[in-house]
């Protein structure tokens, strides 16, 4: 009986005390863990497509996930931290040290067969012919079909835009 009385008394005291602790440790929630950003990386990289990059990493890290080709050039914002504002990374290329922007394989330059710096006219024509016959190019495999023998020397100069991209 006495023990029960003591336990009740102690419980009341503890309850009273716990109600008046405005400076007690503040629970601020569970650790946030990693916030993942989805980036579409294309252009002069070995593997184009979507990549999940954890918050805190920069675009340098992201491009390296897609593996920069020897012909590739890092964009100017490479040391900026991935924040979701730049969700598409189009990696430029260089020819003999001269930097060029990658070209949308389904874009105006190709469709209108316009001359493009750093790219041979025949390559543009081959792509335009393929698109006229088969519709838009949606991944690297289709680009390989379109370029044929030109592929190895030119595929990194073109990219499939995020809107046209389909996994093979």
Interface contacts to another protein, rule CB under 8 A: 6, 9-10, 13-14, 17-18, 20-35, 54-58, 60-61, 79-81, 83, 85
Shorter beta-carbon distance to another protein: residue 61 or 100: 61
Residue nearer to another protein on the CB measure, 5 or 149: 5
Give least dist CB 28 to another protein, A. Answer: 5
| d(C-alpha 102, C-alpha 37), whole Å | 23
**Least gap, CB of 78 to another protein (angstroms):** 9
Asked if residues 156 and 43 have their Cβ atoms less than 8 Å apart, the reply is: yes
The contacts found for 109-116 with CB under 8 angstroms, 24 or more apart, are 110/158
Could you give the maximum distance between any two Cα atoms of the chain, in Å?
A: 99
Shortest Å distance, C-beta 74 to another protein:
13
Residue among 2 and 108 whose Cβ is closer to another protein: 2
Query: Rounded CA gap, 141 and 143, in Å?
Result: 5
Would you say 51 and 39 are in contact if contact means Cβ atoms under 8 Å apart? yes
How far apart are CB 10 and another protein at their closest, in Å? 6
């Amino acid at each position: 009986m006495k023990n029960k009385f003591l336990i009740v008394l102690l419980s009341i005291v503890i309850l009273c005390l716990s109600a008046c602790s405005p400076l007690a440790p503040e629970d601020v929630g569970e650790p946030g863990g990693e916030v993942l950003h989805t980036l579409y990386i294309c252009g002069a990289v070995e593997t184009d497509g979507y990549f999940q990059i954890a918050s805190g990493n920069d675009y340098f890290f992201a491009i390296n996930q897609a593996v920069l080709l020897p012909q590739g050039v890092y964009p100017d914002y490479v040391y900026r931290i991935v924040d979701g504002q730049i969700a598409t990374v189009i990696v430029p290329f260089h020819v003999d040290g001269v930097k060029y922007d990658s070209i949308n394989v389904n874009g105006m330059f190709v469709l209108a067969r316009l001359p493009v710096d750093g790219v041979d006219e025949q390559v543009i024509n081959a792509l335009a012919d393929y698109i006229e016959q088969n519709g838009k190019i949606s991944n690297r495999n289709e680009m390989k079909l379109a370029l044929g023998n030109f592929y190895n020397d030119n595929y990194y100069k073109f990219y499939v835009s995020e809107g046209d991209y389909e996994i093979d």
